[in-house]
A and B are shown apart, each in its own frame.
Chain A
Amino acid sequence: MLKKTAFYNDHLKHGAKIVDFAGYEMPIQYSQGIVAETKTVRSAAGLFDVSHMGEIEITGPQALSFTNYLVTNDIESLQEDQVLYTVMCLEQGGIIDDLLVYRRPRGYLLVVNGANQDKDWQWVEEQSKKWDVQVTNLSDQTAQIAIQGPISEKILNKLVDQPLPNLNYYFSKDATINNQPALISRTGYTGEDGFEIYLDNRHASGLWDQVLTSGEEFGITPAGLGARDILRLEMGYCLYGNDITEQTTPLEAGLKWVVKMKKNDFIGKESLQQQIDEGVQKKLVPLAVSGKQIPRKGFPIMSNRQKVGEVTSGGWSPSLAKCIALGYVKKGHHKSGTEVEIEVRNRTIPAQIIKGPFYKQGSHL
């Protein structure tokens, strides 16, 4: 039985095409289409329903040390209300999920991928048994929207009861909307300035239209998972299930910056240290692709007629008007500037490994 988010009827009203994603009936696009939605997020703003994401709260005396043991990044230096991007790994170093960690007054909030929320919850709950912590799964009661785009702040200010001055990138604040509590962070998955808003499902009714009405004068559009996928790909951000999985480590995925080997023990540390010592055998790279044939997940990456890797995400970028992809290539073929070919339906098209991101004009940079 597929779950519906608090905004399901709003999606239907706005002409959404609904797909099964992460166990939810989610909008992949609205009547305008993926390309138009993507462009509007880059030039103005888009409103996304991301209620499929999972939320896990960790509280108790050992909340800090337990959370730091779960994830690879170091949360010890987090300031109050600060947010951190990280991954959590298996003992063998494979990525269980990528997530955000919010430092909250009472502990930590993990925001995990919708498709992984059951797996993650089981993992966190199991690990927590050896620690003096309480873990709570808030996923089913929590609604989440994202407002993304250069004019997001203007829309947010019309929405909240009290203005949120000085909310910095990757910080959060408790606020009220219509006198109801909401957690707001300046975060996102698009490369644009923007906000993610968490609130209880019971308070979500009417919010969708309220945001669209507030943003109408600035040209906001509802935007679906299709636009979200293209926007993140243009930034070279990893998508779990495509670019990162339990079979890939953060070192291979170019996420070494979220692995802090100097902190205390954490799950996967030993395996990752070993991989640092031995060197990785494959690397995730951004590929600029010639022509208009779209490289897609699973297409082989070739060099001198030998397979050297595989595309993990690919698409047509409306912002750059060209095809782009992410994929793993064997060590030795990973340096930027390297020319490779991608096999697309019985023919090969030239591609070049570049330095990301593909899109460099994002408003948060």
Chain B
Amino acid sequence: MAEVNIPEDLKYTKSHEWIKIEGNIITIGITDFAQQELSDIVYVEFQLDTDDEISQGDPFCTIEAVKTAEDINSPADGKIISVNSDLPDDPSVINKDPYGQGWLAKIEVADQSFQDNLISAQEYLKITEQSSH
């Protein structure tokens, strides 16, 4: 397995998403570890679009890789304010740049309580070390 990049300034979920928090706007993507696990991503489909309401735990997007398909769930209650519409045309940018051009969606969160479920870069590193063998 290649080196796993886990930026210190982001928050993480145990299900391998990264979250960037800017006030009540959050940006979601999948981590470098997740894209390496999935490898070759060939298709991204958004079930929800801009202005759709979303609840914590609900899927908003499916990432289809050669080996498997994964639903990506919202880490918070809120409203989708933007999805990365470049992805359906070139989903491989998630493999190439998971923390940059490979972002999935931006959500305006209802409140900050979702942060209780997030973990730090250090805690996430431990999860990746347990998952890989």
Residue positions of A touching B, CB distance < 8 A: 15, 17-18, 28-29, 31, 33-35, 226, 230, 292-294, 296, 315-316, 345
Contacts and interface: CB of A to CB of B under 8 A. Distances in A.
Contacts of A226: 39, 66-67
A294 B43 contact: yes
Contact of B64 (A31, A33, A292): A292
Contacts of A35: 40, 42, 66
A1 to B, nearest CB: 15
Contacts of B82: none
A223 to B, nearest CB: 13
Interface of B: 1-2, 39-40, 42-43, 45, 62, 64, 66-67, 69, 95, 133
A33 B40 contact: yes
A321 to B, nearest CB: 9
A34 B45 contact: no
Given A296-B69, A345-B62, 12 more contacts: A15-B1, A15-B2, A18-B133, A28-B67, A33-B40, A34-B67, A226-B67, A230-B66, A292-B64, A293-B43, A293-B45, A316-B43
A17 B64 contact: no
A292 B89 CA distance: 11
Contacts of A31: 2
The 3 closest A-B pairs by CB, nearest first: A292-B43, A35-B40, A316-B42
Nearest to A294: B64
Contacts of A296: 69
Nearest to B92: A35
10 contacts: A35-B40, A226-B66, A226-B67, A230-B66, A292-B42, A293-B43, A293-B69, A294-B43, A294-B64, A316-B66
